[in-house]
Amino acid sequence: MNNKVVKRTAAGVMTSLFVISSILPTVVQAASLASEKEEVVYVNLNSDGDLLGTYVVNIFNDSDITDYGDYVEVRNMNTNDEITYDSGVIKIKNSKDKLYYEGVMENAEIPWNIDITYKMDGKEYSPEEIAGMSGKLTIEINITENTKAKEGFFENYALQSTVKLDTNICKNIVSEGATVANAGDLKQLTYTVMPGNEKDIKISADVTDFEMDGIDINGIKLNLGISKDSVDTSDLSDKITELQDAVSELDSGAKDLNDGAETLNSGAGKLNDGINTINEALNTLNSKSSSLTNGSTEVKTALETIGSALNGVTISSDEITKLSDASLQIKNGIAMLVGGLQSIDRSIDTYYGSLSQNGLTDINDFINSHNNAIAALGITDTQRTLYSAYVGGGIEGVQASIGQLVAAGDAEATALFNQYASGDTNAVVNYVTTAGKLISVEALLSADVAYIQGSQALIAGIDSALDSESGELMTGATALQQNYEVFDASIQNLISSLGNLLVNMNDLKSGINMLTENYSILDSGINEYTNAVNSITIGYSQICSGALDLVNGTSELYGGTKTMAEGTGEFSKETSGLQDEVDVQIDSMLEKFTGSDSEVISFVSDKNTNVESVQFVIKTTGVEKTNVKEVESKVEENLNMWQKFLRLFNLY
């Protein structure tokens, strides 16, 4: 059982706690009728809504009490009468007018799931983390149905949730749907959840050094005692009568409109027949024009095609000269490319000569000297491990790694640990610093070796490609130079031939362009005639189309008025019983707000069939800064029995 539940149930204890021990003999009892009682279900939640504990206070007025419940612990709260508890049956001989006893339930399923989240500046935090923080606070409370819980409570019980925020540390408090009240320095936000409903609550505020009290949630069986007889619906009834009269008049007008639309539809059909006859004659005339315009268009198109083809030949003497110059530039560029490759080949030979002059007959000698230098550094595995730990976790990481190596029997780590333990506090730092320098030097030498090897491979590859006899790059460039010299000679011969062709081409283009221009005038006149005929035909087609639209429109109007007349008739028929339907809907709406008249059932056990009321008192823990709270000593007061009972429920 949760410690908080133990502390709460132990506070203010006046009477002894009697729990049936397993060593007592079992008494077989016949089933007894449960006594009349009231149940108050107390639920403790933590700050994010998780269940901490559930206990039920059962209240009786009888002297001979029989009750049922599955409890892990029971205690008499206001008398010294002994509680007999065996196999879920509670028996009490009450000596007072009223008796209260408490039963602690284990893993009880309450009717609601309550989930509370806290965010600061948009980021979610746990209640422990957010305590003492400052910024833009958001609290989200989601109340949903717990389908695992006993049926009958979620559907019939309303919840009232209260959140209290200290206005000294909470400013600009905003929460949609809250009933807001001031209670001293506290801003009290109250929310009501109707039976059978779920709710999402969102609260925002600007906070400094945030703390808050626990959230209070009370659940009761809602019954407001409102009936339809207590609600004045006379104005609504008068409006319904007015609506029925208006619908009757609308139905009569719709039928008159439908008769007129039918007459209009018949006349529009006759008009459309005459217009279609004229339109057919114009279409016949217009169709004869196509043969004339098509023939003229073909002649004009042929002339334009010839002219376009000739005009497309736009080569001038300047362009021919540019072609010659461009080819010469390409030839010279290829020659420069071959010369550049030969220069690179000579530079590589010079590079190899300089290496020989400096005593490096083989580049591998240089690489081997670097590798020998790396080996001479003598870096140990222990140095690598501890330097890696320092890079990853600083001195703390090094200390943890030394502990692991010492435990594994590493001699070098053990010597370093002994040196540090003997009082040389700089031993670890000096060791790691030296290891870091050695490893850095090793990295530079390794990188130098890799660079030299890569450079040697690159130079060797280039030298091979530039070999005048077998190198692919050099032999290819030489072949390109020879072949383009042949190609350039052919281009110069072509340029000489094109110069003579240009003189005759210009005369032919001028003649074709003049012929095309003169025929365009004739073709334009032919098209003007046929376009005039086509315009008349199109214009009359629009009249014909308009007449058809008129016929379709009047037909749709007639169909619409007919449908409307049928609809208004049906509307009039349906509204005739509107008053009775409104009465049914009012009864249904009132039932949602007044609560169901269903029987009160026990939260604890179905065997408790004589329960007068059940109430839920749900309380979350607050959001508190644990590092600044001090427990104040309190002087124990001498309280009477009733005062102690009231204090148990925080009422005194």
499-534 tens-digit pLDDT: 666 656 666 667 677 767 766 776 776 677 677 667
Rounded Cα distance between 145 and 115, Å, is 11
Judge whether residue 120 has pLDDT over 50: yes
End-to-end CA distance of the chain: 27
3-state secondary structure of 636: coil
Closest CA to 329 of 482, 494, 488: 488
pLDDT band at 275 (very low <50, low <70, confident <90, very high): low
Rounded Cα distance between 615 and 153, Å, is 10
Q: What is the DSSP string of 115-168?
A: EEEEEETTEEE-HHHHTT--EEEEEEEEEEE-TTSPTTSTTTEEEEEEEEEETT
pLDDT given for residue 5 in this prediction: 36
pLDDT given for residue 68 in this prediction: 98
pLDDT band at 44 (very low <50, low <70, confident <90, very high): very high
pTM for the full predicted model: 0.44
pLDDT given for residue 503 in this prediction: 59
pLDDT given for residue 19 in this prediction: 30
pLDDT digits (tens, 9 = 90+) for 152-174: 999 999 999 999 999 999 999 99
Rounded Cα distance between 545 and 395, Å, is 93
Rounded Cα distance between 177 and 160, Å, is 13
Question: Which residues face 85 on adjacent strands?
Answer: 90
Q: Mean pLDDT, to the nearest integer, of 213-222?
A: 94
Q: Mean pLDDT, to the nearest integer, of 533-561?
A: 76
Q: Find tokens 């870096």 and name the residue.
A: 379
- Look at 216 and 267; give whichever has higher pLDDT: 216
- Look at 113 and 648; give whichever has higher pLDDT: 113
Question: Which residues face 216 on adjacent strands?
Answer: 162, 619
Least confident of 187-196, 239-248, 421-430, 579-588: 579-588
**What are the start-end ranges of the H helices in 177-232?**
none
Rounded Cα distance between 166 and 208, Å, is 10
Q: Mean pLDDT, to the nearest integer, of 595-599?
A: 67
Q: Mean pLDDT, to the nearest integer, of 318-347?
A: 77
pLDDT given for residue 281 in this prediction: 63
3-state secondary structure of 596: coil
pLDDT band at 561 (very low <50, low <70, confident <90, very high): confident
- Look at 339 and 638; give whichever has higher pLDDT: 339
Least confident of 70-84, 107-121, 176-190, 432-446: 432-446
Rounded Cα distance between 24 and 462, Å, is 102
pLDDT band at 546 (very low <50, low <70, confident <90, very high): confident
Closest CA to 430 of 466, 477, 475, 398: 398
Rounded Cα distance between 58 and 520, Å, is 111
Q: Domain spans of the chain?
A: 321-472
Judge whether residue 38 has pLDDT over 80: yes
Q: How much of the chain is helix, strand and coil, in % rounded to 5?
A: 55, 20, 25
Judge whether residue 3 has pLDDT over 50: no
Of the chain, the percentage scoring pLDDT greater than 70 comes to 73
Of the chain, the percentage scoring pLDDT greater than 90 comes to 36
Q: Mean pLDDT, to the nearest integer, of 261-270?
A: 73
Amino acid at the residue 555: S
- Look at 185 and 451; give whichever has higher pLDDT: 185
Residues 6+ apart with CB under 8 A from 244: 572, 575, 576, 578
Rounded Cα distance between 136 and 203, Å, is 11
Contact 188, 180 (CB under 8 A): yes
pLDDT given for residue 106 in this prediction: 95
Judge whether residue 142 has pLDDT over 60: yes
pLDDT digits (tens, 9 = 90+) for 79-103: 999 999 999 999 999 999 999 999 9
Q: Mean pLDDT, to the nearest integer, of 312-321?
A: 67
User: In which element (H, E) is residue 438 found?
Assistant: helix 427-465
pLDDT given for residue 2 in this prediction: 44
Q: Mean pLDDT for the chain? A: 79
User: In which element (H, E) is residue 51 found?
Assistant: strand 51-60
pLDDT band at 638 (very low <50, low <70, confident <90, very high): low
Q: What is the DSSP string of 524-560?
A: HHHHHHHHHHHHHHHHHHHHHHHHHHHHHHHHHHHHH
pLDDT given for residue 626 in this prediction: 79
pLDDT band at 346 (very low <50, low <70, confident <90, very high): confident
Rounded Cα distance between 287 and 166, Å, is 91
Encoded tokens for 459 = 């130079």
- Look at 508 and 563; give whichever has higher pLDDT: 563
- The strands making up 73-76's β-sheet, listed across from edge to edge, are 73-76, 99-105, 51-60, 37-45, 611-620, 216-221, 157-166, 186-193, 179-183
pLDDT digits (tens, 9 = 90+) for 402-445: 999 999 999 998 988 898 888 887 888 888 899 898 998 888 88
Question: Which residues face 138 on adjacent strands?
Answer: 119, 204
Judge whether residue 641 has pLDDT over 60: no
Amino acid at the residue 470: S
